[in-house]
Amino acid sequence: MSHVMNTYARLPVAFSHGKGSRVTDTEGREYLDALSGIAVNTLGHAHPKLVAAIAEQAGRLIHTSNLYGVTGQDKLADKLCALSGMQEVFFCNSGCEANEAAIKLARFYGHKKGIELPTLIVMDKSFHGRTMATLSATGNYKVQVGFEPLVAGFVRVPYGDLDAIRAVAEHHRNIVGVMLEVIQGEGGIHLRDAAYYRGVREICDAHEWLMICDEVQCGMGRTGKWFGYQQVGVQPDVATLAKGLGSGVPIGACMAGGRAAGLFGPGNHGSTFGGKPLACTGSEGGGGGEGGRARGGAGCL
């Protein structure tokens, strides 16, 4: 009997090693890895540059603390901002943590404007994570049931419906932003034409709201550009990353620009392991250039 908590409907297979796009199980059977760790292993398995970079960093320094400077964070943040058009980055460990940071940033923005109960517009069939706030922002009752009461501060609208957003704006004075995925993944592969996302941007600008793009699944080159929002011609105020950012090394990022830049100060948010030297090396260490970009993923930064 396993003492691991039974939270996954696991298939009866375990893997021992991998190389490139193939993995081998403990019985010696080889598989083509079409799942990639659920959009994580963007450089495949055992990529030589990534392995060498992680091993070298582990031999120097795995973890210090965010009470001190972390050189790798500065380098990675510079590259992410250059690619994304953002101005600053908060590093964490996962997608839900990145989205938690985005939600906190939006609430902080609202309180700065004198809004007592800051509220985000979120989408039906969305998925933003399994922590209490990100679960509450998620538009899927199946993953929410059994965990009520959910966190307040979210108004849900149909994905792709600009008029629904306008109607909320007309009747709800506590709105501080719109949070969406450019491509919805968990609820089915849902996307809209570029006019929809540009319309969301225009509504946010008209009301001085934040536009938050969850790029955890569709970011890091998975759409052919570094970020999904670049495919539809908008620039959000906040964008969140994880999954492919570390190509298997746990790291998340909440990027801020526009109205969201410069909001957080010391003590407003933090993370023990976020952006540690090993994680930042894993995100930067696989090489760069156009060849890397074509493959997507963190090691390509």
List Cα–Cα distances, 43 to 94, 102, 179, 290, in angstroms. Answer: 18, 27, 29, 14
Average pLDDT of the residues in 226-255 = 97
Task: Give the position of tokens 């997507």.
Answer: 296
pLDDT digits over 201-224, tens only?
999 999 999 999 999 999 999 999
Neighbours of 32 (CB within 10 A): 9
Residues marked active site are found at 127, 214, 243
Average pLDDT of the residues in 252-269 = 97
Name the percent of the chain lying above pLDDT 70.
94
Average pLDDT of the residues in 152-162 = 98
pLDDT interval class at 186 (50, 70, 90):
confident
Average pLDDT of the residues in 166-180 = 97
pLDDT interval class at 294 (50, 70, 90):
very low
In the prediction, which pLDDT does 282 show? 79
Locate the domains of the chain by residue range. 71-276
Concatenating the DSSP letter of every residue in the chain gives ---S---S---S--EEEEEBTEEEETTS-EEE-SSHHHHT-TT-BS-HHHHHHHHHHHTT-S---TTS--HHHHHHHHHHHHHH--SEEEEESSHHHHHHHHHHHHHHHHHHTT-SS-EEEEETT----SSHHHHHHS--HHHHTTSPSPPS-EEEE-TT-HHHHHHHHHH-TTEEEEEE-SSB-TTSSB---HHHHHHHHHHHHHHTPEEEEE-TTT-TTTTSSSSHHHHTT---SEEEE-GGGTTTS--EEEEE-GGGTT---TTS---SSTT-HHHHHHHHTT--HHHHHHH-SGGG-
CATH architecture, domain 71-276: 3-Layer(aba) Sandwich (3.40)
Q: Is the peptide bond before 277 cis (omega within 30 degrees of 0)?
A: no
Average pLDDT of the residues in 265-269 = 97
Average pLDDT of the residues in 165-172 = 96
Residues 6+ apart with CB under 8 A from 91: 73, 76, 77, 251, 252, 253, 271, 274, 275, 279, 280
In the prediction, which pLDDT does 291 show? 31
Instruction: With a cut of 50, say whether residue 96 has pLDDT above it.
Output: yes
Average pLDDT of the residues in 51-57 = 95
> Rounded CA gap, 36 and 45, in Å?
9
Average pLDDT of the residues in 10-34 = 97
In the prediction, which pLDDT does 187 show? 77
